[in-house]
Structure formats: structure tokens, C-alpha cells
Amino acid sequence: MSRISDWYIMGAIALAGLAGPLLLPGLATQIAFLWLMVVFALTWDMLGGRMGYNSFGNIVFFGIGCYAAAVVQRDAGLPYFEALALGLLAGAVCAVLAAVVFGAAMLGIRGHYFAIGTLGLGIAAGEVAAGWDYVGAGSGMALPLYPGELGQRELFFCYSLFALAAICFLCCRAVYATRFGLALNAIRDDHDKADAMGLRTTPIKIFAWALSAFFLALSGGLAANMIGFIDPRDVAFAGATFGVWMVLMAILGGKGTLWGPVLGAFVFHVTQELFWTWLLGWQRVALGLLIVIIVVFFPQGIMGWLAERRARAEAGT
């Protein structure tokens, strides 16, 4: 995508993001979830697409963000917005620390061992949260009520998540254009060669995971407040829904591309909102089927498919 059209698209999305919730206040929550999905897909793609480390456990950082915000808001004794800000900060710090610790331990593991290992990490975190009384154990935690007027709440979270998604996107865009972005791709394409070329791969990998954990934790704190309640297995460490969607959206859009995850999140979320309710309890069966179909028949994603078509057209002329 050329430089100019890139800016047009970003401008159009920014306009839609700012005006959308005002024009369609009834859809504010759905739009807020759309931005959440964009953050999910972008942060997954940092490792999965760019660096070739397919993590099934990124949901851990989202859950840490949820719980850190909830605990701070419960115990800090501050007014709502101060507590929320402090909670988000605490969540981001905890998640980055967790990413550094887990990363130092696990990012040396490669291939399918890493994939299955992170899957275990995500589920273990959910099970620990579900058994830990300090954070409400299996019954989860309720978050404080939003103090503003009726209808304000949805708009507030819609705009905050939009801002987060926009910052996350711009951050990815800036980072991928640097040497650091190239180093990530080098690790994906050939890890041993990247090592041999003198790249300090371990710190690079840890930094990438910490960056994705940072955004995920912020989105977790906001999402927990938007939903108003966190359940250990179904909201915070929801490996079977959010955790899988991350991967699916990034692949659907085209992993390893800048716009792919955004596109995948849009397509997936809109499809889900439009058709999911018709499936009446068979949604998760459909999700499983969708994963198999997309992965087996369409692994290059929408952006990959477009690039292939363009390459074929250019070769033809």
C-alpha cells in the first residue's frame, strides 16, 4: 500500500472512530469491542506474525491487566477515574514484568514447544486466578460502577479503547519501520542466522513480548471496566474465546502485515455481530469449524491473498 493511500485509510478510520459512537450511540459497546479486537490482533501479530513465535498464551497479559485494575480499584480508596488510571498503570507494569519473566524463561523455546507451552501458561493462569481467594477465586470480581450519567459510560470506554487501538497501531507502524522491526523479521525467517549475524535475539524477543503485553494489559483494564465484571475463565483468561480470536483475526487478515490484523479484526467482529446470534448456542462449534477452515484453506489471509493476486497480475502484464 502506497504511502498516500495509507494516510487516507487511517484518516477515514479515525473519522469513523470519532464520529461513529456519536452517530450510532446504540452501537457504542459493539464499536468498543471492535477496537478491543483490533488491539488483540495487533498485539498477537507482533510475535506471531512478525517474529514467528506463535503464542497461544497472550491472553495472560490481558487477564493480568483485568485483575490489576480490579484490585487497585477495589483497594486504593480513590475516586473512580484516579483509581482507574492507577489500575491501568499497575496492570501495565505487572504485565510488562510478567512478560520479561516469562519471556526470559520461555522465549528460548522454539516451534511447537513454544506454542503448546504458552497455551499451558494461559490456562494455568486462569486456573490459579480461579482458585485464589484474594482475587475472588472462582466467583470473579465486580468492578466499581461508572460515576457519570447513563449512556456516558459506553461512550467513555468506546473512545478510550479507540485511542488505545490507534496508539497501538501507530506504535506498530513506527516500530516495524525501524531496525528493530527488521530484527523481528530476521528472527522469524531464520533464527539461527539472526543469531549468527550478531543480533542480540533474546533481548529483542523479550522486548517485543513486553510491548505486546503492555498494550494487552491496558486493554484488559479498560475491557474489565466496560464489562463491569471479571470471571477468571470466561473474561480475564478467556482462552477459548478472546485467546483464540486473537490468533484467528491475525491469520484471517494476513499475519506479518501491518494492515492485516486490523482488517481481520474488522471482518471477524462484524461477521460475529451480524451472524453469531443466529447460531443459537452453536457459536463455539462454528468457531472451531471456522478455525479449521481458515487455517487449512486460507492460511495466507486476506492481505496475503491480495498480494498474491497483485504479484500474479504484474507477472502477467
Partner 1 sequence: MLDNLSLFVQYPPLAFDVVLNGLLIGAIFALAAYGMALVWGVLNIVNVVQGELVVLGGYVTFVAVQWGMPPLLGLPLSAAAMFCVGWLIYRAVIFRVVDRDIFISILATFGLSILIQQLANALFGSDVRTVDADLGSVHLFDGMVTLAGIKLLAFALALGAGGALWFFLRKARLGQAIRATAQDPRAARILGIDTDRVFAMTYALNAALCGAAGSLAVMAWTIHPYLGLPYTVRSFMVVVVAGVGNVAGVIAAGLGLGALENVAGFVFGVEFQIAFVFALMVIILVWRNAMATRKRSHLE
| Site residues, partner 1 (CB under 8 A) | 54, 56, 105-106, 108-109, 111-113, 115-117, 119-121, 123-124, 127-128, 130-131, 138, 240, 244, 247, 251, 281-282, 284-285, 287-292, 295-296, 299
Contact (Cβ atoms closer than 8 angstroms) between residue 28 and residue 150: no
| Nearer CB in complex with partner 1: 163/290 | 290
Q: How far is the CB of 45 from partner 1 (least distance, A)?
A: 13
| Nearer CB in complex with partner 1: 75/189 | 189
Helix (H) or strand (E) holding 170: helix 152-176
Q: Which three three-digit cell numbers place residue 53?
A: 513465535
Q: How far is the CB of 87 from partner 1 (least distance, A)?
A: 25
d(CA 184, CA 51): 5
Distances 8 to 1, 14, 57, 123 between C-alpha atoms, Å: 11, 10, 34, 41
Q: How far is the CB of 63 from partner 1 (least distance, A)?
A: 13
d(CA 120, CA 122): 5
| Nearer CB in complex with partner 1: 139/152 | 139
Distances 24 to 16, 20, 228 between C-alpha atoms, Å: 11, 6, 22
For the chain, first and last CA: distance in Å?
20
| Nearer CB in complex with partner 1: 84/141 | 141
Q: Which residues are within 8 A (CB) of 176 and not within 5 positions of it... i.e. 6 or more apart? A: 50, 184, 258
Q: How far is the CB of 200 from partner 1 (least distance, A)?
A: 15
| Nearer CB in complex with partner 1: 20/264 | 264
Q: How far is the CB of 259 from partner 1 (least distance, A)?
A: 21
Q: How far is the CB of 246 from partner 1 (least distance, A)?
A: 12
Per the listing, cell 490489576 goes with: 68
Task: Give the count of beta carbons closer than 10 Å to the beta carbon of residue 137.
Answer: 13
Secondary structure of residue 141 in the 3-state scheme? strand
| Nearer CB in complex with partner 1: 7/282 | 282
